[in-house]
Every structure is written in C-alpha cells, then in structure tokens.
Amino acid sequence: MPPQLAAIASQLVPVEGGTFTIGDVPGRGRASSTRVRRSGRRVSDQLDADDSLPAHDVTVDSFLIEATEVTYAQYVAFLNYLRSQGRDHRNGCGTTVPQRCTDTFKKTPTRTSRPTRPITSSTST
C-alpha cells in the first residue's frame, strides 16, 4: 500500500469464507414488497425479487474488510492519490467525466439533499 494511503487506512478485520444460501423462494420477496407498499413507503421494483430466484448455494473465499466505514477524508485522499499517479477514478456511470453523471443525478429526484458535483476536498475526518 502506498505510504500516502497507509497513513489513513482503517484497520482490516478478517471475514471467514464459507458456503451460504443466496436468493429467495417464490413469492416471499413479492410479499415483502407488498407489505412495504401497504405501509405507504416507496419500493424499488428490484425488491420484487424476480432476479433472485431460485435460492442457491454460493461459496465465498475468506477476505478482509475495513472495521469502519470509509470517511470522506479517506475517499478524497484516495482520489487525490489516483490523480497523482496519472489515473482518474471511474465513477458509477462508467466514465471519468463527472458532468455526465452529474447531469443524470440532477434529473433524478431524491428525498434528501445531496451534492450534485464530485467531492474534491475535505477538511473533516
């Protein structure tokens, strides 16, 4: 790990791998989303669980995960490190051009106020 990032890295903790069941049984996901709709909340179509059928076993290798969430300061340091190495971060829209993603987010209504531009600096940890 580069020294610039090692200085701010969170502790990693091991997660033991294993086999577990993932997916849903027919009708259960749809029933859950129906209950949420009745309560007056908005439900994503993905909660209808059609894409999680059938339930099946998967095996995951052991891995390390950070003990705490990544802070904005850590994320900004990571982005700045990438830029210093001549590499840009590829955003969730699959591009390094922030305007394309920003335009998409501006058109998408949200219930909470969120920034519509990339974070480029942070003074908090």
For 82-105, the pLDDT digits (tens) are 888 887 766 655 555 555 555 544
Kindly give, in sequence order, each residue whose CB lies less than 8 Å from that of residue 67, ignoring residues fewer than 6 positions away.
Answer: 10, 11, 12, 13
Burial tier of 47 (Cβ tally within 10 Å: 0-12, 13-18, 19+): middle
The mean pLDDT value for 67-93 works out to 81
What is the domain partition of the chain in residue ranges? 1-10+70-125, 18-60
**Cα 69 to chain centroid, rounded:** 11
- The runs of H, that is alpha helices, within the chain are 3-6, 28-38, 72-84, 98-107
Structure-block tokens of residue 76: 């900004």
Q: What pLDDT, in 10s, does the model give residues 52-64? A: 667 888 899 999 9
CA separation for the pair 32, 59 (Å, rounded): 26
Asked if the peptide bond before residue 14 counts as cis, ω within 30 degrees of 0, the response is no
- Residues for the chain: how many in total? 125
